[in-house]
Amino acid sequence: MNKGLEDYLYEGDILLSRQQIDEMTSLRKKRQALTLDYRWDKTKPIYYRFDPNLDSAVPPLFRVGAKFWSDNTCLNLVETKSTSSIRVFDGTGTLMGCFAGSGRFTTDISISASSGCNYFGIITHEIAHALGIMHEQIRYDRDDFITPIPSNMNEFYLKYFLNQKLSYSNSNNFGLPYDWGSNMHYRPVNYENQIIALAKDKLYQSSMGRAMAPSFKDIYLMNVYYNCLCTSGAACQNGGFRHPRNCNICICPSGLGGAVCNERPKAENGAADIGAVLSVSCKAVKDTLKN
């Protein structure tokens, strides 16, 4: 999507400020999420506005994406027509594609959202960048989980996929496991559909880069990064965590529901309930976040 923007973007779809570029170059503050210095103030609204020339199809879906992150974290993304921290624009000239500034600056940051970016997964991906979250495949431990195939990588993928891996000393995974199904993970194929990465667990090969929405782990990471997690409340089961908007209920891993993640999700549109809920061990709870 961002082919031809290599000189402007970090990791292929992140537009950095000069200060961030200096910090990235020094290798002192790389993170899976940016340094905490770039977190937005969670006690205040995070305003966004739409440029007048933006494709009319983008604002409705962007609002849905902003609401998703507001509903599932302690953050409040609020649309405005005046004061703004995030400017959503339709790139012109060379800057066409799906990309975002990352983290809070002293000036406005921008999310490019042209009509080709008008998908829920892409919108929520770029909003996550604007809130400070980086790509999954730059983790220092990524080679324990995927095998890059450099022979199938062009200059873009060599630069942004292969060579952007962080080191243990300058990164922070916040204690969370690798997530092949993260909405922040690159696709495992190049523009010519050649494989550029193999999942070491073959069951997850088709998960990479296919997310249509943020994963359970993506949501958990955002809440950890912004210190949204409740310290008391519901006794969440099966790897769930307390909802930052209501500590008496839980946000549950896929396939689970109920107030404390011990039930099947409610069927929608009149569909019949299927499946069963099994009891799990303490190890299984940890494995939920690992997978």
Q: What is the pLDDT of residues 229-274, one digit of tens each?
A: 999 999 999 999 999 999 999 999 999 999 999 998 876 655 555 5
For the chain, the domains span 14-130, 137-207, 233-290
Residue-level pLDDT at 27: 36
Active site residue 126: yes
Exactly one of 11, 23, 126, 136 is catalytic; name it: 126
Mean of the per-residue pLDDT values of the chain:
79
HSE on the CB side for 285, CA within 13 Å? 13
- Indicate whether 161 pLDDT > 60: yes
SS3 content of the chain, % helix, strand, coil (to 5): 30, 15, 55
Q: What is the DSSP letter of 160?
A: I
For the domain 14-130, what is the CATH code? 3.40.390.10
Prediction pTM value: 0.80
Q: Predicted confidence band at 14 (pLDDT cuts at 50, 70, 90)?
A: very low
CA 159, CA 180: separation in Å to the nearest integer? 20
Alpha helices (H) in the chain, listed in sequence order: 18-26, 58-71, 120-130, 155-157, 216-225, 282-290
Q: Predicted confidence band at 72 (pLDDT cuts at 50, 70, 90)?
A: very high
Question: 149-168: b or e for each residue (b if 16 or more CB lie within 10 Å)?
Answer: beeebeebbebbbeebbbee
Contact 218, 289 (CB under 8 A): no
Residue-level pLDDT at 173: 87
Of 30-34, 109-113, 174-178, 247-251, the range with the lowest mean pLDDT is 30-34
Q: Could you report the per-residue pLDDT of 126-138, keeping only the tens digit for each?
A: 899 889 888 899 8
Largest CA distance in the chain: 56
Share of the chain above pLDDT 70, in %: 71
Give strand ranges (E) for the chain: 14-15, 46-50, 77-79, 86-89, 98-101, 109-113, 146-148, 197-199, 241-243, 246-251
Q: Could you report the per-residue pLDDT of 100-123, keeping only the tens digit for each?
A: 766 665 455 567 776 677 889 989
Closest CA to 98 of 61, 143, 73: 61
Closest CA to 188 of 136, 237, 249: 136
Residue-level pLDDT at 276: 53
Closest CA to 123 of 251, 255, 1, 268: 1
CA 32, CA 133: separation in Å to the nearest integer? 6
243 is in an annotated binding site: no
- Indicate whether 63 pLDDT > 90: yes
